[in-house]
Structure 1
Amino acid sequence: MSFYRLQLYCIVFVLTCVGCRKAAFDEYYGRPEWLASPIYQQLDSMGDFKSFLYCIELAGYTNTLGSAGSWTVFAPTDVAFAQFMDEQGIGSLDDINKTLAEKIVRMSMAYDGERVEKLNDYFSQQGWLPGFAYRRRAVYYDFVEEETTTDGKTRMIVSTNRQPDAGYVATDNNNKHLTYFFNAYMDTRGLGAADYNVFYPESQYTGLNIGGAQIDPKRHNIIAENGYIHVVDKVLAPEQSIDQYLRGKEQYSAFKEILDFFATYSYNQNVSQRYAVLSGRKDSVFTKGYTALGMSLNNENYAKEDFNDAQVNNNSVTVPTNEAVRDFSKRVLLKYYPSGTTIQDVFYSNSSILVEFINSHFYQTQLWPSRFDTERNSLNEAPKISRANIKEAKMLSNGAFYGVDACQSANVFQSVYGNVLLDPKYNLMQTALERFGLNLTLKIPTLRYMLVMVSDLELNRIGFEYDPYNTTDPIRYNGAPGTPKMREVIQNQIIPLENYPIPDLSGSGLLEAFSGEYLIYDNNRLSSSGTLTQTTANEQRVRIDSTNIGTALSGPLNGIAVYSARAMLSSEVHAGNFLKSLGAEEATSPYFRFFSYLKNTDMWSESDGVIKGVELGLNYTLVIPNNEAIDEAIANGDLPAVPNPTSVLDIEKTKRFIQYHIVRNTFAIDGKKTGAFETLCKDIEGTILSITITQNQTNSLQIRDNANQVTSADVTNSNRLGQRLLVHSLNGYLQNGI
């Protein structure tokens, strides 16, 4: 055999082997004949998607939908396209530009190929949760857009992709979402056609809807090599975000004007560079967001607490018309401001008012029409308007939008705190209440209070001033940080009413403040331990100028606001000196004998009148046996015969006797507090001894002691107010049982 023939045989052999291997490779790895065609090819073969295919090609998505990948495509028929073009005034396909084609195609595509049945499942961090989802992230997203400012200028913006104060994530495109309405989701939640048709009155609810379109019941779940096709009867063009929608609606401009005060614009270098590359323009691009509010109206991502949480929830807004906003502003927001004040003035002087107003119109959940009258807003408050107020409803890309003809009213405007918040004469009091978190309690409708209003002028008079440069402690007291003193003053003005009725201030009685201090009211005058130390009668008993119980939208529903010229202050006199001021050093005083024993113990400090064990800043009640009761205690051997004993046993007996008559916490003879109270006295094992109030009425008090004996109070010489202190006189004495 010649060399050339041998070489030929070898070549043939090699080619044969290679051919066999390729056939085996193709058989094993090649595309199966039974595999469905890609989405693009299938649409092409069906024959009634020419318009959609034209847009796919124009948008540059032929390869994307004609090869590998995983997509869910909601494909509009040619009939659907004809209807869309007629509605939009588009004469022919040639009039559709690349930008519109991209919007249509990308809004018709959702990530991951899913059957209709699977779209109701929520893809959470924990895996698939069946039946929770009704939204999907579309491929489409807005990038840079032009916004016109109120003065007619323009700027380039990109929308924030997180909720307020959560920043902007450069890797998140802020994709818009598709909302669908399937029986599998709606039926289990008591929803149906009535809810759907509020948003889409021109569409028929079939339980297989996506936006305003119907999914063809016979042409869905069409499997393709790269996903699923679901045929729809309408073109799914991108919906606007709430922020975008409001820009073009003059009837809501008053509400939008308030929103704009909270809009923020920060230069975005990364997006500016990308925009320059893509557009050839060198405009500065700003990230638009919102601060201080409960929602960013241009964020498409819901809360992003879970990567896909927008699949299972949505934001909602109720936006009042201009007439409603102006009416509410006049009656409520500007109620205490001088004529000529604008909403912008309110924003710069006290933006908290507008934050409460705006947030009362936000819902951090999907607000369905059938639940409009019951769903709680972002402030967790029940609605103040009803379905009858709805004038317009739309399911926008990032939330349910309701145009309404009346304003929501935040609870705070109807609470006792509303009198402080809305009135600029009480800004310093507002600052203090917010500083200590007490404003949160005062605006809860179910918690009732009497609030003594203290103006800026009065707080300035007693030594407080606002320091705008100190962000940690903005209130100063006579030039020094004023937090402890201010907290005491503010707490003295807050009187929890609990379940008791609003007091008739024209009568008389006692009220316990948040601080534990007690106030006396008598014939429309107020007194505190601090006012009672003043020199003139008018300063001791402060006249009540007016009160505000109010009605809906105009005043407090959870109590009463009391206006007077002076604050209810605490006394600066220590407990021992307070007893002196009550005449305890005079033999005719019911406190005389008890005081004689007290000042001869080591509990007494002559220099400042402090009683050892009575700590500053805490509350105490002194229940003092009268002179006859002290004689009885001596006769029974519970006190030594003289107030200055010398034996260790008698000294200790005297001290324990006194300690057992000093009670931790305060209680007045006012018909309210009963039960056990600790004293300063301890037994030999260190256990704190208590007394028990068995009866408390407005004109009587009975106390049971450790020996199970009951002693009554001398009401005439009781209810004396001291520095975080009440003094009562007893007709008997309390036996500690030691």
Structure 2
Amino acid sequence: MLKIFKASGMLALLVCVMIAGCRKEEFDKFYARPAGLAKPIYQQLDSMGNFKNFLVCIEKAGYKNTLGSAGSWTVFAPTDEAFTAFMAENNITNINNISDSLAIQIVRTAMIYDGEKIDKLKDNFTKAGFVEDVAFRRRTVYYDFVETSDTPIPGFKSRKYISTNRSAGVAYVPSENNNKHITYFFQSYMDTRGLGAPDYNAFYPQSNYTGLNVGPAEIDPVKHDIIAENGVIHVVNKVLLPVKNIDQYLKGKAEYSLFKSILDGFATYTYNEAVSHQYKVLTGNSDSVFTKSYSDIKLALNNENFDKEDPNDAQVNNNSITVPTNTAVEEYANNVLLKYYAAGTKVTDLLKLNKEVLVEYVNSHLYNGQLWPSKFNTQKNILGESPKINSSNIVETKLLSNGAFYGVNKSQRADVFHTVYGNVLLDPKYSLMSKALQLEGYNLTLKIPTIRYMLIMVPDQVLLDLGFSYDTYYPTDPIRYTEPGTTTMVSGRARLRRIIQQQIVPLEAYPIPSLSGTGILETLNGDYIRYDNGHLISRGTLDNALKTGPTYANITNTEIGTPNGSGPLNGIAVYADYPMTYSERPIGDILDEMVNNNSAHPYYKFLQYLKGSAAMYSIDKKEITGVSVGVNYTILIPDNNAITAAVSAGLLPSSTAPTDPLQKDQVTRFLKYHILKNTFAVDGKKKGAFETLYKDFNDDVVVVTVKDNTTTSVTLKDATATREIHTRLSDSNKLGDRILIHSLDSYLDYRNN
């Protein structure tokens, strides 16, 4: 029995071995290298016979196994003739004299990720799929590691840094190596965009444009799209080397050193623990390594990527920069950036004195896109502004790894410096006003040259005298206020915001006012100010008559934009010795002051009805019920004769303080219908329907319509739609706190029958 069992076991084992052998044979047959499959890249180059020098570099660089086995690569392979020319240009007598580090640069630059034919290189590989015929760049295998700064890293002995791989936000993403990109120029891409040989040769004047170029090299018109097991080979006639980025290129360019020193002021260094450890492991050097980025300006000039809104958006776009020469920087600084500073002030001093000026100056030279030579005069910069220089100003053109570089002999003229906001920004005497405008975001529209304003300039000393200051100890609320006569400092942002709003007058399409005459102007917050023969008047200045301050501001100077570019481009800057302040008095108090208990005053009878209505007026607070703080209103006051007519018409009782409920309601409705939400002035501007505080029995708001508006009179229509009422100019355009008051020659009838 045991013998039988043993025999059976041996038979089973033999059967298993036979089955396993059959399965292995089938496995090997299924997964065997196909007979017609092309060899890997390394073996292909070896068999082609004209790439001996490149193969030596591949071995020196340690990429023989990578290119000789699996993977997916596109390789721009330089011929032996290309190496002969390269070595002659660089005084290298023998291929074996090429250092390992140089070999690494050559090989890694020749390699890009993913094996692609020429037709596919023109497509952008997005996370959503391929987008055809839009790509002109690809990410190479080459990247820089730790570099040495040519200027001290503030606060540290170490000068070691690694470049940021983002333009904004996150300084460094550890999972990326900040690989350099290579640019190619294919005929179909160039033709579609109206580009050609002049664009290519501007970047590579010593190369021949064929419409099949990569960097300064020609791709062989026949020997390309060579399929390999692990990618695609394109033969080129030049050895390609990694190109410097903008940050690296500027290091050794003395002619641009002044602009570079400005850029250095925006460089930031953040300790990078992971890279510091990696650097020590690889080199034995224990120096701290920092991530170098840029703050405030809109591009990081050492970032090799594009926006990264899509992982591969650098395939379809590139950043660009125009860099003025030292002479050009000095000329513009003396004429514009430093014109309000003492002689001897340097442009780099603004990094401490007024950094925002240099932010605007630098950003005007940056382009968030590939700036082509033939499109130089038409493409807008990163601020959305058209260039103020042209191709005749170009003294040097380079296509760098992360951007097109143009050395220019003239600075870009940033629009901001030639708008009403520029008057505030450039002059250090207005730094507090400038900071307040920036904090509230008003600077963003004030510096748009197509949106017109009158801006009243308020010097720092005046704001300081009013109790305002700027304290960085409170980073989220730096505007502080000290009530005159006290030492208690509180937040002053809301108070200063209200004042700043009253210094900004939107002009829209209206002409710049002749301030030597008289008139009224609406400010940014819907409040109004007046001008009168070289004086400016606000409700706040009028209130000063009750104190010790001025009742108006004296206009000391104006600067008006003209077609030849002198002065602001978008309006008028008005220099005054006092700001347009607002009132903190209730409207009843202001009306009392105006009427002064004078029965002949045209507001007198209306005011008596107002004071006699407990439903509409608070005697103690002197406030009108329904008139909310922070909202703009117009009060239309029928003159005394019109009030008498309203009594006769049955709209008002004869008593200004009735006790009968129906008569009280009658007064309430009459008063509400004469108070409008929002404001209009007798100035020839606003027309249309204005809501009143009055609602009919259906709870519907009843409106008053401004039919005609001139600089001398406004014609109104009431609910009857038949009556016309006119303002009396002499007693109209009176200022309250967010309120305009007009006198009428008749009453408004809220009844629509």
**Fold equivalence (TM over 0.5):** yes
CA RMSD of aligned residues (A): 2.2
The equivalences for 1:633-672 within 5 A come to 633-672=646-685
The equivalences for 1:47-58 within 5 A come to 47-58=49-60
Supply the distance in 1 between the matched residues of 2:13 and 2:631 (Cα, whole angstroms): 105
Supply the distance in 2 between the matched residues of 1:533 and 1:226 (Cα, whole angstroms): 84
Does the Cα contact within 8 Å between 2:123 and 2:134 map onto a contact in 1? yes
Supply the distance in 2 between the matched residues of 1:18 and 1:733 (Cα, whole angstroms): 110
Name the residue aligned to 2:747.
Answer: 733
Judging changes above 3 Å, is the alpha-carbon distance between structure 1 residues 58 and 702 closer, same or farther for their aligned structure 2 residues? same
Does the Cα contact within 8 Å between 2:638 and 2:743 map onto a contact in 1? yes
Does the Cα contact within 8 Å between 1:318 and 1:403 map onto a contact in 2? yes
Q: Aligned-pair distance for 1:280?
A: 2.5
* Deviations, residues 660-714 of structure 1 (Å, cap 9, x unaligned): 1111111111111111111111111221111001111111111000011110111
Supply the distance in 2 between the matched residues of 1:35 and 1:663 (Cα, whole angstroms): 85
The reply to whether residue 624 of structure 1 matches residue 637 of structure 2 is: yes
Name the residue aligned to 1:59.
Answer: 61
The reply to whether residue 354 of structure 1 matches residue 366 of structure 2 is: no
1:609 to 603, 622, 647: 622
2:345 to 334, 341, 344: 341
Name the residue aligned to 2:161.
Answer: 157
Supply the distance in 2 between the matched residues of 1:438 and 1:137 (Cα, whole angstroms): 41
Instruction: Provide structure 2 residue ranges, at least 5 long, that are not aligned to the other structure.
Output: 1-10, 483-488
Supply the distance in 2 between the matched residues of 1:623 and 1:21 (Cα, whole angstroms): 101
Question: What secondary structure does 1:599 align onto?
Answer: helix
Does the Cα contact within 8 Å between 1:331 and 1:554 map onto a contact in 2? no
Q: Which residue type is aligned with residue 539 of structure 1?
A: P
Question: What secondary structure does 1:534 align onto?
Answer: helix
Name the residue aligned to 1:718.
Answer: 732
Judging changes above 3 Å, is the alpha-carbon distance between structure 1 residues 550 and 92 closer, same or farther for their aligned structure 2 residues? farther
Does the Cα contact within 8 Å between 2:218 and 2:236 map onto a contact in 1? yes
Does the Cα contact within 8 Å between 1:68 and 1:225 map onto a contact in 2? yes
Q: Aligned-pair distance for 1:518?
A: 1.4
* Deviations, residues 16-67 of structure 1 (Å, cap 9, x unaligned): 9988776655443322221111111111111111111111111111111111
Supply the distance in 2 between the matched residues of 1:569 and 1:18 (Cα, whole angstroms): 96
Moved over 4 A (4+): 9-26, 150-154, 550-554
Judging changes above 3 Å, is the alpha-carbon distance between structure 1 residues 451 and 619 closer, same or farther for their aligned structure 2 residues? same
Q: Aligned-pair distance for 1:505?
A: 1.1
TM normalised by structure 1 equals 0.95
The reply to whether residue 522 of structure 1 matches residue 557 of structure 2 is: no
Q: Aligned-pair distance for 1:245?
A: 0.3
* Deviations, residues 304-323 of structure 1 (Å, cap 9, x unaligned): 12111111111111111111
Does the Cα contact within 8 Å between 1:144 and 1:275 map onto a contact in 2? yes
Supply the distance in 2 between the matched residues of 1:374 and 1:115 (Cα, whole angstroms): 33
2:508 to 488, 498, 506: 498
The reply to whether residue 290 of structure 1 matches residue 304 of structure 2 is: no
Does the Cα contact within 8 Å between 1:71 and 1:109 map onto a contact in 2? yes
The equivalences for 1:293-372 within 5 A come to 293-372=297-376
Judging changes above 3 Å, is the alpha-carbon distance between structure 1 residues 44 and 325 closer, same or farther for their aligned structure 2 residues? same
Does the Cα contact within 8 Å between 1:36 and 1:225 map onto a contact in 2? yes
Does the Cα contact within 8 Å between 2:158 and 2:287 map onto a contact in 1? no
Q: Aligned-pair distance for 1:406?
A: 0.8
Q: Aligned-pair distance for 1:588?
A: 0.8
Supply the distance in 1 between the matched residues of 2:647 and 2:493 (Cα, whole angstroms): 47
Does the Cα contact within 8 Å between 2:56 and 2:96 map onto a contact in 1? no
Does the Cα contact within 8 Å between 1:675 and 1:693 map onto a contact in 2? yes
Does the Cα contact within 8 Å between 1:413 and 1:554 map onto a contact in 2? no
Q: Which residue type is aligned with residue 702 of structure 1?
A: T
Question: What secondary structure does 1:713 align onto?
Answer: strand
Name the residue aligned to 1:559.
Answer: 571
Question: What secondary structure does 1:380 align onto?
Answer: coil
Does the Cα contact within 8 Å between 2:561 and 2:570 map onto a contact in 1? no
1:508 to 518, 534, 539: 518
Q: Which residue type is aligned with residue 690 of structure 2?
A: F
Supply the distance in 2 between the matched residues of 1:655 and 1:251 (Cα, whole angstroms): 77
Does the Cα contact within 8 Å between 1:148 and 1:154 map onto a contact in 2? no
Q: Which residue type is aligned with residue 413 of structure 2?
A: S
Judging changes above 3 Å, is the alpha-carbon distance between structure 1 residues 250 and 439 closer, same or farther for their aligned structure 2 residues? same
Supply the distance in 2 between the matched residues of 1:300 and 1:312 (Cα, whole angstroms): 13
The reply to whether residue 460 of structure 1 matches residue 473 of structure 2 is: no
Q: Which residue type is aligned with residue 693 of structure 2?
A: L
Supply the distance in 2 between the matched residues of 1:441 and 1:362 (Cα, whole angstroms): 20
* Deviations, residues 352-376 of structure 1 (Å, cap 9, x unaligned): 1111111111111111122211111
Q: Which residue type is aligned with residue 120 of structure 2?
A: K
Q: Which residue type is aligned with residue 88 of structure 2?
A: D
Question: What secondary structure does 2:703 align onto?
Answer: strand
Q: Which residue type is aligned with residue 386 of structure 1?
A: N
2:236 to 212, 232, 236: 232
The reply to whether residue 547 of structure 1 matches residue 549 of structure 2 is: no
1:200 to 204, 214, 221: 204
The reply to whether residue 175 of structure 1 matches residue 179 of structure 2 is: yes
- Percent identity at matched positions? 55
Q: Aligned-pair distance for 1:401?
A: 0.8
Does the Cα contact within 8 Å between 2:79 and 2:235 map onto a contact in 1? yes
Supply the distance in 2 between the matched residues of 1:10 and 1:736 (Cα, whole angstroms): 111
Does the Cα contact within 8 Å between 1:549 and 1:560 map onto a contact in 2? yes
Does the Cα contact within 8 Å between 2:152 and 2:159 map onto a contact in 1? no
Supply the distance in 2 between the matched residues of 1:247 and 1:165 (Cα, whole angstroms): 25
Judging changes above 3 Å, is the alpha-carbon distance between structure 1 residues 649 and 46 closer, same or farther for their aligned structure 2 residues? same
Q: Which residue type is aligned with residue 211 of structure 1?
A: G
* Deviations, residues 588-628 of structure 1 (Å, cap 9, x unaligned): 11111111111100122222321112222221111111111
* Deviations, residues 323-354 of structure 1 (Å, cap 9, x unaligned): 11111111111111122222333111221111
Supply the distance in 1 between the matched residues of 2:144 and 2:565 (Cα, whole angstroms): 40
Name the residue aligned to 1:381.
Answer: 385
Name the residue aligned to 2:695.
Answer: 682
Q: Which residue type is aligned with residue 48 of structure 1?
A: N
* Deviations, residues 231-255 of structure 1 (Å, cap 9, x unaligned): 0011110000110000011111111
The reply to whether residue 597 of structure 1 matches residue 603 of structure 2 is: no
Q: Aligned-pair distance for 1:210?
A: 0.6
Name the residue aligned to 2:479.
Answer: 475
The equivalences for 1:45-194 within 5 A come to 45-149=47-151, 155-194=159-198
Q: Which residue type is aligned with residue 567 of structure 2?
A: G
Q: Which residue type is aligned with residue 356 of structure 2?
A: S
Of residues 604-613 and 215-224 in structure 1, the stretch that sits farther from structure 2 once superposed is 604-613
Judging changes above 3 Å, is the alpha-carbon distance between structure 1 residues 233 and 629 closer, same or farther for their aligned structure 2 residues? same
Supply the distance in 1 between the matched residues of 2:553 and 2:69 (Cα, whole angstroms): 85
Judging changes above 3 Å, is the alpha-carbon distance between structure 1 residues 115 and 284 closer, same or farther for their aligned structure 2 residues? same
Question: What secondary structure does 1:395 align onto?
Answer: strand
Judging changes above 3 Å, is the alpha-carbon distance between structure 1 residues 643 and 91 closer, same or farther for their aligned structure 2 residues? same
Q: Aligned-pair distance for 1:281?
A: 2.2
1:575 to 587, 607, 617: 587
Question: What secondary structure does 2:477 align onto?
Answer: coil
Q: Which residue type is aligned with residue 430 of structure 1?
A: S
* Deviations, residues 390-435 of structure 1 (Å, cap 9, x unaligned): 1111111111111111111221111101111111111111111111
Of residues 184-193 and 493-502 in structure 1, the stretch that sits farther from structure 2 once superposed is 184-193
Does the Cα contact within 8 Å between 1:621 and 1:728 map onto a contact in 2? yes
Q: Which residue type is aligned with residue 722 of structure 1?
A: G
Supply the distance in 1 between the matched residues of 2:107 and 2:148 (Cα, whole angstroms): 23
* Deviations, residues 50-85 of structure 1 (Å, cap 9, x unaligned): 111111111111111111211100000111112222
Of residues 654-663 and 551-560 in structure 1, the stretch that sits farther from structure 2 once superposed is 551-560
Judging changes above 3 Å, is the alpha-carbon distance between structure 1 residues 154 and 463 closer, same or farther for their aligned structure 2 residues? closer
The reply to whether residue 405 of structure 1 matches residue 405 of structure 2 is: no
